Amino acid sequence: MRNTIIAIMITVSLVSCSTFDRNNTRDVNLQLVAESAYLLFPIEDNAPEKQVTIQYSGIDEATVNHMRLAEKNIDYWVKMDINNIAGETFTLVVKNADKNIPGIKNIKQSDNFTFEYNETYRPHFHFSPELGWMNDPNGMVYLDGEYHLFYQHNPYGTKWQNMHWGHAVSTDLSSWTYLPDALAPDSLGSIFSGSAVIDVNNTAGFGKNAMVAIYTSAGQVQSQSIAYSTDKGRTFTKYEGNPVIPNPGIPDFRDPKVFWHNESNQWIMSLATKQTITFYGSANLKEWTRLSEFGDGIGSHGGVWECPDLIPLTFAEKIKWVLLVSINPGGPNGGSATQYFIGDFDGKAFTAEALPYPLWLDYGRDNYAGVTWSNIPETDGRKIFMGWMSNWDYANNVPTKNFRSAMTVARELKIKHNGRHLVVSNYPVVETNALRASESVKNDLVVENEALISNLLDTNKGTFELEMTLQPHNAGVFGFMLLNSKGEELEFRFDMTTGFISIHRQKSGLVDFEGRFAAGMNAPLVKKEAYKVRLMVDKASAELFINEGELALTTVFFPTEIMNTLKLYTSSGHVNAGNITIYSIN
Ligand code: FRU
């Protein structure tokens, strides 16, 4: 590892002579020669943000990055790629900073960068960013055997900031290969959420089958921009005519999701506009016409509407259109959640059919901003969804170190009838079955009071699946919990007296990193003779699916020891628990 601290110490003396401000700080200017692949910065999670820019000859406008440079302790390091200026002299400017803080004194160059990837809560079969913060999935598109997943990424810290589009690809929707960030902030702003399409007919003129990303430029105002790739998403060129939709004077104007609508022969964009969704049409992805607006007076309006997705799904041999709308705050259990509407789309406007809105795709507190993949081959035809497995109520404070948060598993969306009304079901894609390594079938149980299965797996690494069928007989409140020897528990409770299912995580391990985390989550439960349960557990997350995704609840939790015991219980009557199967995960 080549390390040029000495060079930094020498050049620190070149700090410019700006005057001190009241905090005894001034701009720190470090003049350096780019000798290695990376510039490494020491970060402290709760230190204040500093504005960091890199200036070198020929750069028009240096991007301002915000970094929590360590002031007392170094919690972790982040890297900035400086290969593009190899051999050149550059100036690193930190605004309003004390040059003696550890976060500046220890900045160094290196060709290597290592860190503890497999930290305690790193998921095993869910996508998580290699390093840094992640929120929404973006630009999900399938091309030539690869599922592309772009995502809101801060490469320079594990809290929300400096939005880039991170990038990963998969051939099976569960193992992912990290690729370099695809889009970085520019003079129009940072890169907020959006989508990607394959321009099969070269409508935009970027080339046949170009991958076109449509995203929000978030600067002084939010506007919509596009960028294209002709090398399967490996590199993108931003369109010189950006923004393609300027801001019309409203603050929340973002998250374009685009698809080709055959019937009206145009691209359709759904865009979140304050607390409505506005639809736009375009022949070429560059010029857009406003078509209609949906959302006034319907659904939940407890917060701003974000990340829409309009998709056709077949039900009873007819096409119905589903509009997904994430909302924050205003979710059914506090903070972030995704509501949906079922109805019709005529190429211009979306109309919702009468249903008991708001309806939620996932009643857990940790499934947000999810949308579906575009360009799935017609022979496949599935609508495949993935969400961000966190909640704005506490996302910035969850107890991980080098990365923050993960995505849900890929789920297939369908319209079903739950016995009361139509729902959009979401259930792990069939590909996830291949993750199962071994299968352990337990004896059927008749649960009166309680029953324990104390050794779910001989070697439990905190990653497993549980399937079972629960049949309540005069049972008022029944359910199951995962337990460990420290008395930590994650409880899944069916309450037939109130007609709710709930998850309780207040005793599930680390909970006090944020006041709003411990509270549980409820979902309305339709009375049925039997509930088919599938629970996917991956270190710090549990995704619960009832009756093949008719109902989904996703939660994160942070146990301090792996939970290898299952307890089933009932307050009255009895519960037959059958087909109890535990799968270890590859
Ligand atoms: C949703 C969201 C989007 C926005 C992005 C910014 O979680 O707020 O509306 O584009 O995150 O990172």
DSSP 364-406: SSS-EEEEE-B---TTT---EEEEES--TTTGGG-S-SSEE--
Of the candidates 220, 198, 213, which has an alpha carbon nearest to the alpha carbon of residue 166?
213
SS percent in the chain: helix, strand, coil, step 5: 5, 50, 45
State which of 133, 150, 152, 338 you would mutate to test the pocket of ligand 1, scoring each by most atoms of that ligand within 8 A of its C-beta: 152
216 lines ligand 1 (CB under 6 A): yes
CATH fold, domain 432-585, is: Jelly Rolls (2.60.120)
Report the alpha-carbon angle 360-365-366, nearest 5.
100
306 lines ligand 1 (CB under 6 A): yes
Contacts of 450 (CB under 8 A, 6+ apart): 567, 568, 569, 570
| Distance in angstroms (rounded) separating the CA atoms of residues 135 and 123 | 15
The H or E element spanning position 7 is helix 5-12
- The whole-number pLDDT of residue 17 equals 30
Average pLDDT, rounded, for the chain: 95
What is the tens place of the pLDDT at every residue in 305-321? 999 999 999 999 999 99
Q: What is the DSSP string of 19-50?
A: PP-TTS-EEEEEEEE--SSEEEEEE-TTSPPE
Q: What is the DSSP string of 547-563?
A: TTTTEEEEEE---SS--
- The whole-number pLDDT of residue 23 equals 52
| Distance in angstroms (rounded) separating the CA atoms of residues 234 and 74 | 33
| Distance in angstroms (rounded) separating the CA atoms of residues 276 and 296 | 6
CATH fold, domain 6-110, is: Jelly Rolls (2.60.120)
Q: Nearest C-alpha to atom 12 of ligand 1 is from which residue?
A: 192
**Residue 586: pLDDT band by 50, 70, 90 thresholds?**
confident
163 lines ligand 1 (CB under 6 A): yes
Residue type, 566: L
138 lines ligand 1 (CB under 6 A): no
- The whole-number pLDDT of residue 2 equals 33
Extract the tokens encoding 292: 């209609």
Spell out the domain ranges in the chain.
Answer: 6-110, 132-428, 432-585
What is the tens place of the pLDDT at every residue in 504-530? 999 999 999 999 999 999 999 999 999
SS3 409: coil
152 lines ligand 1 (CB under 6 A): yes
Contact 503, 584 (CB under 8 A): no
Q: What is the DSSP string of 221-234?
A: SEEEEEEEESSTTS
Q: How many CA atoms lie within 13 A of 352 on its CB side?
A: 23
- The whole-number pLDDT of residue 24 equals 58
Extract the tokens encoding 435: 């993750």
What is the phi/psi pair of residue 144, to 5°? 45, 50
The predicted model gives 290-316 an average pLDDT of: 98
159 lines ligand 1 (CB under 6 A): no
What is the tens place of the pLDDT at every residue in 400-424? 999 999 999 999 999 999 999 999 9
pTM score, two decimals? 0.95
CATH of domain 132-428: 2.115.10.20
Of the candidates 321, 315, 316, 319, which has an alpha carbon nearest to the alpha carbon of residue 294?
321
- The whole-number pLDDT of residue 16 equals 34
What is the tens place of the pLDDT at every residue in 339-389? 999 999 999 999 999 999 999 999 999 999 999 999 999 999 999 999 999
Residue type, 479: G
What is the tens place of the pLDDT at every residue in 446-487? 999 999 999 999 999 999 999 999 999 999 999 999 999 999
Q: Which of 136, 199, 255, 362 is catalytic?
A: 136
Domain 6-110 and domain 132-428 have a common topology: no
Known catalytic membership, residue 136 = yes
- Other beta carbons within 10 Å of 415: 16
% of residues, the chain, pLDDT over 90: 94
% of residues, the chain, pLDDT over 70: 96
| Terminal CA-CA length for the chain | 34
Contact 338, 368 (CB under 8 A): yes
Q: Which atom of ligand 1 is nearest to the CA of 163?
A: 12
Extract the tokens encoding 324: 């997904």
Q: Above 50 in pLDDT, residue 3?
A: no
Q: How far is the CA of 182 from the centre of ligand 1 (A)?
A: 17
- The whole-number pLDDT of residue 21 equals 46
- Residues forming a β-bridge with 89: 33
What is the tens place of the pLDDT at every residue in 136-165? 999 999 999 999 999 999 999 999 999 999
- Residues forming a β-bridge with 415: 424
- The whole-number pLDDT of residue 7 equals 34
